[in-house]
Amino acid sequence: MYKNFILIAFLLLSGCSIVDGGTHDKYNNIPQVNIVIDTENITTVSPAEQLSIHVLENGKPVDDAEITLSMWAAKEAEVWNRTFDVSHVSDGKYTAEIDIPREGLYLIKAHVKNNDIDAVPTKYFTVGSLDMFEEVFLQEFNNDDSIQTHSHH
């Protein structure tokens, strides 16, 4: 029994060296990517609010990303969502003009892609006051550290 245990332990430990060194490097050399969806300037109901997205890879601006931007109102997520055009400005900064049809809680998703990046950050933000449904919705996700939120009241 003891011999079998040692044999199994040896096989498990030696299995770690079977992985190709190139695979090891691939997973240890993953770039550090920072994507910030900036909703600071979105404060009112308007058909032309300015949204900014900043994309950095290993601390350097990414100027060749393709970004698909979608937005929807939290309480109307099943009814509508809109896609907006995103333009590259400079130094890793991208902008989009978005339509805010009413006060409330909004969700925005940016699919950011280039040769090294394939990320889909999502952000929740508010414009004006929230109704009871939106307050409950926001409270449910407020404890999730992976979700970015920003509020305007």
CATH number at residue 133: 2.60.40.1930
User: Pairing between strand 148-150 and 122-127?
Assistant: parallel
Q: Considering the domain boundaries, does residue 79 fall inside one?
A: yes
pLDDT in tens, 107-128: 999 999 999 899 999 999 999 9
Tokens 């969806």 sit on residue:
37
Domains contained in the chain, number:
1
Q: What is the pLDDT of residue 26?
A: 60
Average pLDDT, the chain: 83
Q: Which domain, by its residues, includes 98?
A: 32-150
42 three-class SS: coil
Please say if the pLDDT value at position 28 is more than 90.
no
Do the domain assignments include residue 67? yes
Residue 12 domain-assigned (yes or no):
no
Asked if residue 5 is part of any domain, the answer here is: no
Q: Where does the pLDDT of residue 149 fall: very low under 50, low under 70, confident under 90, or very high at 90 and above?
A: very low
Helix (H, G, I), strand (E, B) or coil at 144: coil
Q: What pLDDT is recorded for position 108?
A: 94
Between 152 and 85, name the one with better pLDDT.
Answer: 85
User: Per the domain annotation, does 7 fall within a domain?
Assistant: no
Q: Is residue 20 in some structural domain? A: no
pTM: 0.73
**Percent of the chain scoring above 90 in pLDDT:** 56
In terms of Cα–Cα distance, which of 117, 61, 55, 51 is closest to 84? 51
Residue 151's pLDDT is: 43
Distance between CA atoms of 50 and 41, rounded to whole angstroms? 7
pLDDT of residue 152: 45
Question: Tens of pLDDT along 32-71?
Answer: 999 999 999 998 999 999 999 999 999 999 999 999 999 9
Extract the runs of DSSP E, i.e. beta strands, from 30-86: 33-38, 46-57, 60-61, 66-73, 82-84
Q: Is 117 within a domain?
A: yes
72 occurs within a structural domain: yes
